[in-house]
Amino acid sequence: MQRSLAYALSPAPGLPLRFLLAAPWFGVLAALLLFGAGEHAFVSRWSAPALGATHLLTVGYLGMAMAGSILQLIPVVTGSVLTLSRAAATLSWCGLALGALLLAAALAANLAFLFLPAALCAAGAFAILIAAIAKTLARRAPPPAMPMVRGMRLAVAGLVVTLALGVTLALAFGGMLAVPVPMLADLHAAWGLLGWVGMLVVGVAFQVIPMFQSSRMYPAPVTRWAPWLLAALLAAWSAAVIAGGVGASLAAALLCAALFAFAALSAQLLATRKRKQADATTLYWRLALGSLAGSTLLHLLAPQPQAALATGILFIGGFAIGAVNGMLYKIVPFLLWYHLQQDPRAKKGEVPPIRLILPDALARRQFWWHAAALAALLGASLLPAWLGRPASALLAVASGLLALDLRRAAVRCRAIKALFQPS
Ligand code: HEM
């Protein structure tokens, strides 16, 4: 059951756009950090530069992109207003940006005094966003919006757990708390990647794959129970890790199986969709779903902890950033076009079609750079001395191209708007 969308409730364009346009620049920064560190960054998932780059990508890139997408999608899909003042949006944008930068610096250069301010900035920024989002998500949503809303509610809860664990780790790294760091770091990483990022992508996929890719809808029992199943398995795994029991491996295997099944079902929906032509977003969904399936297989079948870095690269760079990049190429030109179209001064023929605001050819070009960067990063986890720097350079090019494609589209639309004559 696909429901008509409440575009009239779209927030002012600047609200989501400021987050969406900033996101890929954190990919450029992560790539520069990895390039500077060279092969040392790729020796293990615990290397200082890898931890720094991880937070430029998870707090900066994914945090900004997910904040922007949520702010746009919730009111339009649920038909319920989301209130976030300009000042609060600016504060959370600055907090996310500064938090990502400080956290990356603290982790990459081992600067104990930076952990507390970094954690306060990032957690404070997320808290502002969570307060606004949670208020809207707590309202009753129309049944067709529920698959996405359910995923988002659980994802926000996952983010709260991630942040609580992240702040605890930061206090420990700042010398203010004594805690079992390796265990908390594993829990924090799992809640961040699966409970927050993974859950959000699953919930959003239920809405946007049928909507933007013209596929069949996901089966109702899947959208009803899959988010709860993921959350329950993650909670069971966490309990087993804390208790130190043997159940952790079983819960992890079941989590991997559930995520693999989601990837396989989504890939099947994409393969049997009505529209045969694949645009850049379709290519990105294929990459994201293939990477998700690959990361679960790697986690289950490859020797650990040696394969952990490659698993993380596939999950963050292939699955999460893949899904986000595809969404950015869909949402940003649509938003720009929609707000030009809504301008009362716009006359017939003055607003270009979406495909001219950001041509698919540019998005496809960027997709192949990103796919090459992902392949090279995976290679660098095996051959750090040979591929560490080339892979980082490719990631910088891919993220930079995305940032510039989006920025140029925004600048072009601003120029068109400036030409509108008062009616
Ligand atoms: C307030 C915000 C955050 C703080 C203060 C924080 C802090 C930390 C710290 C101190 C570590 C290092 C653990 C160690 O070296 O043992 C870490 C690891 C990690 N964090 Fe965060 N974090 C935050 C947000 C996030 C978010 C939102 C994600 C989202 C996915 C995330 C994902 C990760 C991952 C994946 C690792 C492990 C990296 C690895 O094992 O290679 N963090 N975090």
- For residue 423, the model assigns a pLDDT of 67
pLDDT in tens, 129-139: 999 999 999 99
From 55, 156, 179, the mutation candidate for ligand 1 (largest count of ligand atoms within 8 A of CB) is 55
Instruction: Tell me how far apart the alpha carbons of residues 322 and 395 are, in angstroms, rounded to a whole number.
Output: 12
Give the pLDDT confidence of 183-198 residue by residue, as tens digits: 999 999 999 999 999 9
Specify the CATH class of 7-411 in words: mainly alpha
The rounded distance, in Å, linking the Cα atoms of 309 and 304 is 10
For ligand 1, atom 38: residue with the closest CA: 51
The structure tokens listed for 395 are 């990631």
Domain boundaries, the chain: 7-411
pLDDT of residue 3: 56
Question: Which parts of the chain have pLDDT scores under 70?
Answer: 1-3, 423
Q: Which residues line ligand 1 (CB under 6 A)?
A: 45, 50-51, 54-55, 58-59, 103, 119, 122-123, 162-163, 166-167, 169-170, 173, 181, 185, 188-189, 192-193, 196-197, 312
How far, in Å, CA of 310 to CA of 36, rounded?
Answer: 20
Q: What are phi and psi of 119, to 5 degrees?
A: -65, -40
The encoded tokens of residue 331 equal 């949402």
- Compute CA 221 distance to the chain's CA centroid, rounded to the nearest angstrom: 25
Amino acid at 184: L
328 CB-near residues (< 8 Å, 6+ apart): 20, 23, 24, 65, 402, 406
Write the pLDDT tens digit of every residue in 28-81.
999 999 999 999 999 999 999 999 999 999 999 999 999 999 999 999 999 999
* Cβ neighbours of 402 (radius 10 Å): 28
Q: What is the pLDDT of residue 149?
A: 96
CA-proximal residue: ligand 1, atom 16 (nearest) = 185
Give CA separation, 226 vs 148, 233, 318, in Å.
11, 11, 22
| Pick from 304, 326, 423: nearest CA to 371 | 326
